[in-house]
Structure 1
Amino acid sequence: MRKPLLFFTLMLMQAMFLLTTVQDSFAQDRVKAAQRIPADALLYFSVPDVETLGDKWSQCSMGQMTHDPAFADLKKDLIKLTEKFSEKFEAETDLSLSNVLSIPSGEVSLAFVKSDEGKFGGLALMEYGESGEILEKILEKAAEGFDKEGAQRSIRSVDGTKVVVFSFESDEDDQAPVKVPLAKKFAYFLKDKTFVASNDDKILESVLAKWDGQGQNTLASKKEYQYIQTKCADPTAPAVMQWYMNPIGALQSILGVASRVNPQVGMVQGFLPALGITNLKAVGGSTYLATKNYDSISKSFTYVEMPTSGIIDMFKCPAVAQQPPVWVSDKVSTYYSINWSISGAYDSIETLFDGFQGRPGALAAIIDQMADKPEGPKIHIKKDIVDNMSGRIQVATEMIEGEQLDLTKMSGQFTVAFGLKNSDAFQKVVASLTARDDFPGQTREFQGTTLYEVPGAILSSPTDAAFCIAENQLFIANDVKQIENVLRKDRGVGSLVNSDNYKRISENFPEKTSIITYQNSDAQVHALYELMRKNDNNVDLQGLDLSKLPSFEVIQKYLPISGGYTVPDDQGFFTSTFGIKKSEK
C-alpha cells in the first residue's frame, strides 16, 4: 500500500513543480512595452500592471485613508456625483463608464519617439484583457467622429495585423514655410489583446516589427535603460510605475526643429558637446508602493557617459558621512544636506570660459581685475570666497503655529548654512562687505557672535532677515529669530538628529552620501487642508460638500514621514526617496 501512495505523492509534487515553473516562465516571457518601443524613444512612462497598482495603492497610507470611516459622508457625495456623471456619459455614448474604466488590464505605457522618417510621434500601448468588445465600440464611435471631421480613413495589413489610419493632413500643411515633423494622424491596431495607437502609422510599423520582443533596436535593449532598470530594481516588490527620459536627445530634437525657423539656433547644437552636457545620456526610475520596508519608495538613476566635463562637472557631489547638526530643530518641516564640490565646479566654469575665449587664464584675469578695482570691496571671488567654502550646504525650513492660513508664509522660515574652511578669513570678507556705506542692514552682538540684520521692508518680507558666521558656517535666514535660535547655548528644543522620526529615516541611508533629505509635511498639509475646509463655499466641485471633510487629526496619522539620499556611481548617480508610515515602530 505504501508504494502506490508514495508514487502518487511524488507525481503530485512533480505536477505542482511543473505548474509553478510554467507560471514563472509565462511571467518572464511576457513581452513588455519597452521591448517593442524604438530605441530612440525620448520619453517613456509605464504602469507595468494596473491591477498591481490598484492593489498596492489600497495597502499604502493614502489608500487606507480613503477607507477611514471619517470620510463616509464625503464618499456618499462622491458616489452620487460619480453616478450622475456615469448616467450622462452613458446617455451620450451608449457605453457604461464603469466598463470603460475597467478596460486597462495589465500594462499601460506612453512614449514619445521618432519614426524612421525622422518625424516625432506619441505612442500608447494598453493591454485590455477581456474588454475587447467594449474597446471596439469606443473605436467605432471615435471613427464616426473622425469621419465627420473629414479625416481620410485607410486600412492596411502589416505582417498580418490590421492597421487603421485616420489622416488629418492637408495640402496647406505641405505649403507651410516650416513643416513641423509631426504627423497629423490617428493610427492604431489591436494585437494579442493589446491596443496600440500613435499619431504616425510608421511608428506603429516599427512597433509591429519588434512585436516578439526579441529585437535589438528597442528601448529595452539600450545599455542605459538596462543599467537604470537594474539600479532601480527592488527584489521585495513589483514596480507600480517606471519611467525613462533622454533629456539631451529631446533638447537636440527641439533645437533641430527650431533651426528650420532660425538657422542660428543650429549653432547652439554645435556648442552642446563643448558644454559637456551631451554626456548626460538618460534619466529613469521606478516607483514602488507598500513594500516590506516602505510605504512608498521611488528610485531614480541619472546615467552619464564617462569621463565627464563642462556643465556636468559643476554638479559633482562627493559622498561623505553626514547628519544634521544639533542646531537643526526636531520641529523642522524639511531638511536638506548637500556635499557639493564647489572647487571642482569653479574649475569647470573656468575651463569652459577659457575655452570659449580661446586663451588660458581668461577668467582668472577678469577676477583679478575685479578684486583690484579701487571702488570695489577688494574681495577676490576665488581666493576669498570659493577657496574658503567647504561645499557643505544645509537647508532647514520650519512652519510655526499661527501660519496655517497665511499663504504668504507657506514656505516657512528657512535657515541655510554654508560650510567654511576658515571662519576667521571669511569673517573678514563679511566685515569688509558690511562696513560699506551701501550695506542696508545693521550689526549687533548676540551671545558673543556678530549678527548682521537686514530689515524686512527692504526685502519685501514680513520678517527681518539675518546672517552670521558661527560653528565654521555661514548662516543665512529669512527670520532673525531663526539665527538667534541657532546661536543660543540652550536652544530649548530637541535636535532633529536625536528625534525618533529622523532615526527611522536615517537608518535607511548609506554610510556615505552626496545628499540627504528629511521631510515631515504635516504643517504644510495642515495649512492647505484647513484653507480648503474653511473656504469650501468658494470651491465649486459640482456636488462635493467640503465641509464634510474630517478634522486634520484624522488624516495626519496617514501622512508618512519621508526622506531620501543620493550617492555617486561609476555611471552617474543614484537617488532614493521614500516614505514610512507613522504607525510603524
Structure 2
Amino acid sequence: MRQPICKWFFLLAPLAICVSLGLHQDSLGAEEDTTPGAPRLLPKDTLAYIRIDNVDDMRTDMAASSMGRMMNDPKLKPFVSEVYTTLSGLFEQFGAQIGLSLEELLAIPTGQVAAAAMPANLSERDEELVEDEADSDSPEAIRRRIERKREQQNAIAGIFILEAGKNLDNMMSLVDRLEEQMILGGYVRRTSKVKGTTIVKLLPPRQGRPEVEYFTKDDTLIFGIGHDTAAKSLEQWTGTSEEDSLADRADFTSLMSRCIGAEETRPQLTFFFDPYRFVERLVNRGGAAALVWPLVENLGVSKIRGIGGSTFQGGEVFEDIAHMHILLDPPRDGMFGVLRPETGDTTPPNWVPDDVSGYLTLNWDFEQTYENLDKLIATFQGADPMKRFVEEPVKQAVGLSIKEDILDNLTGRFVTASWMEPPVRLNSQTRLFGLELKDGLNAKGVIAKIRDKRPNDIEVETIGGVVVYGPKNERQRNLPENFRQPKPGVIILGKWIIFSDSRKLLTRVTQANADSMPRLVNVPEYDLVSSELGGKLDGETPFMVSFMRGADSIRQVYDLAKSPDTLRFMRSSAENNPFLARMLGLLETNELPDFKEFEKYFAPTGSFAYDETGGMHFGWFTLKADD
C-alpha cells in the first residue's frame, strides 16, 4: 500500500504555521531558547525558507492586537465562540484520524517553527563514487566535488523544524502515525545515534522515492525529506559540521539586514527565497521549459540574488509592520531593463474622493520601459517587434502614433483608486486608473483622432460639465442576478486622463475635482498615514505610496453576510456542503452585531516602495486602531 509522503509532510508544515494563529489557546510563555535559529541549522544553499520566531510570543501579540481584542469583545465573543465551536465540530472527523482534538493541535507549537527547501544531498553510494574518482585529492577537494555533484543532480529536499516544549508528545503522536503508514507502504526503519541524539531514518522500498528522517532534541522536532537532511542539520546544531550554514551566506545576511534591521524589535516572521536557483533546478529536471531556459538565462534572470522579508508587531503606534527586499545585481538591463521607477509627487490629486477604499500612486519612466521592452522582445522576435506588433497595428486601426501621441505626453505618474459602489454586491468594488499628462488638450486631440477614425465606436455624454467617452452600443455582460453591470468610461480632467468601469465613481471624481465633495488629501486618516510613512523610508524617496481603509473590505463581507440573496444562496447549497450548512445555521441563529462594533478595530494601512542600485525595497504598515 503506497502512502504519498509529500501529502503528510505538507500537512505537517502548514499545520504548524497555521496553528500559530490559535488565539483561543492560552500562551504559556516562551520557554528558554535552547534551539539555534533555523538559519544556523540550514545549509548555505537553501532555496526557500520561512520561520516564525516564537509561536507563544506571536499568540500573545495577536491576543493584544486589534483582531484579538475584537474576538474578545463581550458584544462579539458569543458569535466568535460559536464560529470556533463550528470549526471544532468540522474538525472532529480529521481529529479522530490523528488522535488529537483541535485544541490539542493548536497548542502544539510553543517556540520556533520553520520550513525550508534545499538541494538534495547525494546518497551514500553517489558520494563513494565521487571519492573513488580521485583518491589522491585532499578531503577539501573531495568535499567541493561532492557539493558540485549535489548541485548538478537537481533534486530538492525539505526540512521542517518545530519547537513543541511540553507538547512534544502530541507532535510525536502525529509523526508516529505517519511512520506507521510509511512502513505499511514498504519503508524500512533504521536508527543511529549522533552525540546522544537518535536519528530515525525511513528508507524507501525502491529507487525514486525519498528517504525520510527525523530526530528530537531539546523538545524540538526536526523532520527532513531527503538523504541526510535532518542529519546534517544535527551536525550544524552540535557544531561538528564542516559546511557553512544559511546564516553564513552573504546574500541571505544582506537581505535580512534590510528587513530585520529596519525595526528595533525582533521580527515575528521571516522568509527567504532564491527564485533563480529554485526555478533552475525545476527546469533542469526536464520538460518543455528546459528548451527555453537558456534564452531566459541570457536575459539576465540570474541577477536576482534573492527575495527576503519580515513582519513585526508594531508597538504603540503600529498594529503591524512588514518589509520585503529584492536583491538585484546591477546593471539594470535585460529583463530588468523594464523596471524603471522614478521619484516624484505622491500626494493624492484633488479629484480623488475622500471615501475611496484604497489609493495608490506610482512614478515610472514609461518611455524607457517601452524602449527596453522592445529590446527584450527582439531577443525572441527579431528587430523592432513593438513597431511590428503594436505601433503599426494601432496606426492602422485608429491613426495614432504610440510614441508621439501617447508616450511623449506622459509625465510618468500613475494613480489608481478603489471604491465600494452601493448597494453591496459581490462585485461592488470599482476601480479607476489615472495617468498624468503633459498636455490635456493634446490628449483630447488624440481622442478626436480616434473618433474620426472610428465614428461608430465611441459615444459621448456629460457628467458635471465633463465629457465622458465610452463604448457605443455596448452589450450588457451576462452576469448573475444582482451583480453590478460595469459601464466603462474615460474622462480628461485638466492634465489627467482617467478611466473607470463605474460612471458613479467618475461622477464622484468630477465632484471632488470641482470641490463639491470632500477630497482624500484632506482626510485626517490619510494625513496620519502619510506622516508616519516618512519615518519608515530611512531617508529614501519613494516611487510608490498607497493608502487603504481595512474596514471597507470587512464591511463588504459583513453586508453580504446579512444580505437575503446570500442567505438564499447558502440555503440552496448547504445540503451538499456541511461547512456551508453550519455557517448558515450560525447566521440564522445569531444576529450579527452592528458593524460599528467591528469597524472600530480596523485602522488604515499604508505601503511604500523605493529603488536602489542593488534592488528594490517594499514596506507595509497598519496603524493601531483606537477602540
* Same fold by TM-score greater than 0.5: yes
Q: How far apart, in 1, do the equivalents of 2:329 and 2:616 lie?
A: 11
Question: In structure 2, what residue type is equivalent to 1:45?
Answer: I
Structure 2 counterpart of 1:326, from 321, 340, 350: 350
1:284 is aligned with what amino acid? Answer: G
Aligned equivalents of 1:278, 1:386: Cα separation in 2:
30
Q: What is residue 370 of structure 1 aligned with on the other side?
A: 392
Distance 1:323 1:113, change over 3 A: same
User: 1: CA distance between counterparts of 2:295 and 2:78?
Assistant: 60
Residue identity opposite 1:550 in structure 2: P
Deviations 1:288-335 (A, max 9, x none): 124232011111111111112122221221222311011111100011
Distance 1:84 1:369, change over 3 A: closer
> Cα distance 1:74–1:425, how it changes in 2: closer, same or farther (>3 A)?
closer
Matched, 1:521 2:550: yes
Gaps of 5+ in 2: 1-31, 123-152, 478-483, 535-539, 575-579
2:128 is the alignment partner of 1:103 = no
Question: Match of 1:379?
Answer: 400
The alignment status of 1:49 with 2:54, answered yes or no, reads yes
Match of residue 343, structure 1, among 361, 367, 374: 367
| Aligned length, in residue pairs | 537
User: Which has the larger displacement, 574-583 or 349-358?
Assistant: 349-358
Aligned residue for 2:279? Answer: 251
Pairwise CA distance, 1:425: 2.9
2:602 aligned with 1:559:
yes
Q: CA deviation at 1:339?
A: 0.8
SS of aligned partner of 2:453: coil
1:393 aligns with 2:417: no
Name the CA distance, whole Å, in 1 between partners of 2:269 and 2:390: 52
> In the alignment, is residue 531 of structure 1 matched against residue 548 of structure 2?
no
Q: Following the alignment from structure 1 to structure 2, what is the Cα–Cα distance between the partners of residues 93 and 519?
A: 41
User: What displacement does 1:415 show?
Assistant: 1.7
Q: 1:125 to 1:428 in 2, by over 3 A?
A: same
More divergent stretch after superposition (543-552 vs 564-573): 543-552
| Cα distance in 2, alignment partners of residues 455 and 93 from structure 1 | 61
Q: Using a 3 Å threshold, how does the CA distance of structure 1 residues 72 and 135 change in structure 2: closer, same or farther?
A: closer
Deviation at 1:98, TM superposition (A): 4.2
Partner in structure 2 of residue 306 of structure 1: 330
For 2:304, give the aligned amino acid: L
Deviations 1:5-25 (A, max 9, x none): xxxxxxxxxxxxxxxxxxxxx
Secondary structure at the residue paired with 1:318? coil
Query: Relative to structure 1, is the Cα distance of residues 371 and 540 closer, same or farther in structure 2, using a 3 angstrom cutoff?
Result: closer
> Does 2:81 match 1:38?
no
State the alpha-carbon separation in 2 of the partners of residues 427 and 82 from structure 1. Answer: 57
Partner of 2:5: none
Residue 269 of structure 2 is aligned with which of 212, 228, 241?
241
Mapped pair 1:152 → 2:171? no
- Give 1:120's aligned residue: 156
Show the 5 A alignment for 1:11-30: none
Report if aligned partners of 2:533, 2:606 keep a CA contact under 8 Å in 1. Answer: no
Match for residue 408 of structure 1 among 427, 443, 446: 427
Give the direction of change, closer, same or farther, for the CA distance of 1:451–1:168 in structure 2 (3 Å limit): same
RMSD over aligned Cα, in angstroms?
Answer: 3.1
Taking a change above 3 Å as real, the CA distance of residues 546 and 133 of structure 1, as seen in their structure-2 partners, is same
Is there any run of 5+ residues in structure 1 with no aligned partner, and where?
A: 1-25, 174-182
Partner of 1:467: 490
How much has 1:43 moved relative to structure 2? 1.6
Q: In the aligned structure 2, how far is the partner of 1:364 from the partner of 1:97?
A: 57
Amino acid across the alignment from 2:113: V
Distance in 1, matches of 2:232 and 2:102, equals 33
Residue identity matched to 2:496 = Q
CA deviation vs aligned residue, 1:13-45 (integer Å, no higher than 9, x gap): xxxxxxxxxxxxx97x96210121122222211
CA offset at residue 434 of structure 1? 2.2
The CA deviation at 1:74 is: 2.8
Tell me, in whole angstroms, the C-alpha distance in 1 between the residues paired with 2:84 and 2:181.
Answer: 30
Structure 1 CA distance for aligned equivalents of residues 218 and 107 of structure 2: 18
Q: Does 1:63 align with 2:68?
A: yes
Change (3 A) 1:220 1:378: same
Q: How far, CA to CA, are the matches of 1:387 and 1:169 in structure 2?
A: 66
Contact 1:321/1:512 (CA < 8 Å) preserved in 2?
A: no
Letter in 2 for 1:379: L
Identity between Structure 1 and Structure 2 (%):
20
Following superposition, the deviation at residue 59 of structure 1 comes to 1.3
Distance, in Å, in 1 between the alignment partners of 2:394 and 2:60 is 67
With over 3 angstroms needed to count, the CA separation of the structure-2 counterparts of 1:115 and 1:532, relative to structure 1, is: same
CA separation of 1:108/1:322 partners in 2, compared to 1, >3 Å: closer, same or farther?
same
Identify if the C-alpha distance between structure 1 residues 83 and 451 changes in structure 2 by more than 3 Å, giving closer, same or farther: closer
* Aligned residue number for residue 624 of structure 2: 581
Residue 460 (structure 2) aligns with = 443
SS at match of 1:316: coil
- Quote how far apart the aligned CAs of 1:394 are: 0.4
State whether structure 2 residue 521 is matched by structure 1 residue 504.
no
Relative to structure 1, is the Cα distance of residues 372 and 125 closer, same or farther in structure 2, using a 3 angstrom cutoff? closer
1:207 aligns with 2:233: yes
Match of residue 570 from structure 1: 613
Name the SS of the counterpart of 1:344 in structure 2.
helix
Q: Evaluate the alpha carbon distance shift between residue 334 and residue 36 of structure 1 in structure 2; reply closer, same or farther with a 3 A threshold.
A: same
**1:368 CA displacement:** 10
Letter in 2 for 1:201: H
Counterparts in 2 of 1:344 and 1:141: CA distance versus 1, 3 Å: same
Deviates most, 130-139 or 308-317: 130-139
Q: Distance in 1 between matches of 2:391 and 2:181?
A: 69
Q: Distance in 2 between matches of 1:59 and 1:35?
A: 31
The one-character-per-residue Cα deviations of 1:429-478 (angstroms, maximum 9, x if unpaired) are 22111222365221245566543123584473724321122221211111
